[in-house]
Structure 1
Amino acid sequence: MEAYIKNLIQNLYEHYGYSILEIGEINGLYTNWGVYKKTDSSIDVMFFCNLEGSYQLNIHEIETLARKHLQTDNIRLIQAIIDDRLKIESNENGELSVNQEIYQQCELILINNVDNKVLYFSEGLKDKVQELATIINYTNTSQNRAAKAERPIITYVLIGVNVLAYILTAYLSGNIVDSNINVLIFLGAKVNQLINQGEYYRFITCMFLHGGIIHLAFNMYALNSLGPLVEKIYGRTKYVFIYFLAGIISSIFSYIFSTGVSIGASGAIFGLLGAALVFAVKMKNSVGKGFMMNIVSVIAINLVMGFSIPNIDNFGHMGGLIGGVIASLFLFRR
């Protein structure tokens, strides 16, 4: 509620020429701040409260303070009651009325802050209500756009590509639990001998192949947990760059230091860990050292597990981590 009222006050000030009035702590007010604007006939003073506050409010205190501050008796008080319990109901005769009993002491505007609607206003306040309705509609539209923009679309796309690649692998392998090694090689696994023959595309294609349903599930769980954070911090374009650069460097490290067949998204995911680590170090004063230590501990645990479990491409993991750190150092903006 506080943010909702603050947004109304800020927009009335910025876009409609209102001035801000410090009312102070008066019993019943939701905020200590109101707005005022000079008209042809008076100075309109608008203040804000919720349902409970409207019953407790002493309008004369606000009137006295406003007259003293504005140095005029020619003021019009407007009470904006903002509450999600306010509704418009129809009685047996089809007449519309507000579902709550309102103690009206001055000019009145009723707003439902969840439905984002002005439900009632006193006669003569049409211009004020149009201003408020414009602000409410604009804010609601902006919030919807912001919510859509914040969805980790790239992470979902990457997960989708990995899952589709696994479905194809499972179909060709004839087994949904484990992948056939020959199918993986056919689809683009990292194989040093084939890369030596010029099949460099394998540095990328191996990032989207997995050796089994469990391998896929672990990596997609990690990507879904970490990806949205990195995508939000760096933005979608930089996120894609970090992911692919880390994945490619992971493949190169595996090519240089390991002769075995290598597959999986874990190298790119280690790159995202590196990106999160750069953010944590750069912003340690804001996010706290605890966040940085969490990232470090996750990296350390995964590396230790990698060295403890056979058939894990640890060089690929380290390469991805280094690639993510390098890319993030260049791309990060405070």
Structure 2
Amino acid sequence: MAHPSITCPECGRATDARYSSCLWCGAALPPSGGRVIEVLSGGKSSQLVINGIIVVNVAYYLLSLLISSGTSLGGGLFGFLSPDDNSLALLGATGTYPVSRYGVWTLVSANYLHGGALHILFNMMALRQIGPWVCAEFGASRMFVIYTTSGVAGYVLSVLAGVPFTIGASAAVCGLIGALFYFGKSRGGNYGQAVSREVSGWLISLVVFGLVMPGINNWGHGGGIVGGIVAAKLLGYRERSRENWVHRAAALLCLLVTVIVLAFGTWYGVRVLSYRHF
């Protein structure tokens, strides 16, 4: 998440400008007239990864609308521009029924499908807010690995819990929240405590939202959070270890699997629907 930041005059690190003292070393900070910077993502590669995820999500959502036999223009707040269940199933929605009928590849593809305009808007806004912060602490490669594996973990738990049909990037986004929660607890100190407090607020909001709003896949959210914590622990973060070839290879593997799965989902969905039209 982007924070207004200032360079600490003592340790030289970028720290949150909302505080009167450095979150790294505890030194007093100068007034806001100092050199303030915006900590956004940790590099161009991070922006490329996040923008790429958003573009693919939007493209796959538009494809689901294109091949849908009946796109909803009403249906309440969350039903606007909703593709039908048939097109979602063919493109790779997951759950107990799709996994048993189509296969485990849907555990990946479901992370790039959405049930309406507001559904994808909220998920992509959350990714745009949280993704850069994860990139800043873990690096772009590790962020993408966490995003991919957390989404799969969330949907594996959903299937085990008996959720019949589910889609959305929220499990993967929850994985990023879980990674930040682990980072804050593991790092400790003033900065780690600040991260933990903020992320804990998000986790509480997720629980409340899941209990209040109907149709929320809380199993997917919970599995994503746990997946993000586990992935973050296994991969480590920048303060403890730099990104290396293992992290980049893992990110490349996740990318290849995602591309293959989405290409297959596109081919399969378009092919089946084209046969039905003849």
Aligned mate of 1:201, from 101, 105, 115 = 105
Instruction: Letter of the 1:159 partner, please give it.
Output: I
Aligned mate of 2:133, from 215, 226, 229 = 229
Q: Gaps (5+ residues) in structure 1?
A: 4-145
Q: Gaps (5+ residues) in structure 2?
A: 1-6, 8-40, 74-80, 241-278
User: For the Cα contact (< 8 Å) 1:191–1:260, is it kept in 2?
Assistant: yes
Rounded Cα–Cα distance in structure 2 between residues aligned with 1:197 and 1:277: 36
Q: Structure 1's 151 and 202: CA in aligned 2 closer, same or farther, altered over 3 A?
A: closer
Aligned mate of 2:191, from 255, 277, 287 = 287
Residue by residue over 1:39-85, the C-alpha shift from the partner in whole angstroms, topping out at 9 and shown as x without a partner, is xxxxxxxxxxxxxxxxxxxxxxxxxxxxxxxxxxxxxxxxxxxxxxx
Identity %: 29
User: For the Cα contact (< 8 Å) 2:95–2:162, is it kept in 1?
Assistant: no
For residues 234-245 of structure 1, what are the structure 2 equivalents within 5 Å?
A: 234-245=138-149
For residues 147-296 of structure 1, what are the structure 2 equivalents within 5 Å?
A: 149=44, 151-173=46-68, 175=71, 177-197=81-101, 199-296=103-200
User: For the Cα contact (< 8 Å) 1:275–1:325, is it kept in 2?
Assistant: yes
Q: Structure 1's 147 and 264: CA in aligned 2 closer, same or farther, altered over 3 A?
A: closer
Considering only CA atoms, is the larger Rg found in Structure 1 or Structure 2?
1
Rounded Cα–Cα distance in structure 2 between residues aligned with 1:151 and 1:294: 22
Instruction: Letter of the 2:111 partner, please give it.
Output: M
Rounded Cα–Cα distance in structure 2 between residues aligned with 1:194 and 1:186: 9
Q: Secondary structure at the match of 1:152?
A: helix
Question: Which of the pair has the greater relative contact order for Cα pairs under 8 Å at 6+ separation?
Answer: 2
Matched, 1:327 2:223: no
Higher strand share: 1
Rounded Cα–Cα distance in structure 1 between residues aligned with 2:59 and 2:134: 23
User: For the Cα contact (< 8 Å) 2:171–2:224, is it kept in 1?
Assistant: yes
The aligned length equals: 190
Instruction: Letter of the 2:113 partner, please give it.
Output: L
Residue by residue over 1:92-149, the C-alpha shift from the partner in whole angstroms, topping out at 9 and shown as x without a partner, is xxxxxxxxxxxxxxxxxxxxxxxxxxxxxxxxxxxxxxxxxxxxxxxxxxxxxx9853
Rounded Cα–Cα distance in structure 1 between residues aligned with 2:138 and 2:86: 38
Please report the TM-score for the alignment, with normalisation by the length of structure 1: 0.54
My pick for the range that moved more, 178-187 or 267-276, is 178-187
For residues 30-41 of structure 1, what are the structure 2 equivalents within 5 Å?
A: none
My pick for the range that moved more, 215-224 or 168-177, is 168-177
Instruction: Letter of the 1:163 partner, please give it.
Output: V
Please report the TM-score for the alignment, with normalisation by the length of structure 2: 0.64
User: For the Cα contact (< 8 Å) 1:268–1:320, is it kept in 2?
Assistant: yes
User: For the Cα contact (< 8 Å) 2:154–2:221, is it kept in 1?
Assistant: yes
Higher helix share: 2
1:214 Cα offset (Å): 0.4
For residues 2-17 of structure 1, what are the structure 2 equivalents within 5 Å?
A: none
Rounded Cα–Cα distance in structure 1 between residues aligned with 2:215 and 2:85: 13
Aligned mate of 1:310, from 214, 226, 239 = 214
Rounded Cα–Cα distance in structure 1 between residues aligned with 2:118 and 2:203: 20
1:151 Cα offset (Å): 4.5
User: For the Cα contact (< 8 Å) 2:150–2:224, is it kept in 1?
Assistant: yes
Q: Structure 1's 185 and 289: CA in aligned 2 closer, same or farther, altered over 3 A?
A: same
Partner of 2:10: none
User: For the Cα contact (< 8 Å) 2:110–2:168, is it kept in 1?
Assistant: yes
Partner of 1:136: none
Rounded Cα–Cα distance in structure 2 between residues aligned with 1:307 and 1:268: 19
User: For the Cα contact (< 8 Å) 2:182–2:233, is it kept in 1?
Assistant: yes
Structure 1 vs Structure 2 CA RMSD: 2.0
User: For the Cα contact (< 8 Å) 2:182–2:229, is it kept in 1?
Assistant: yes
User: For the Cα contact (< 8 Å) 1:273–1:295, is it kept in 2?
Assistant: yes
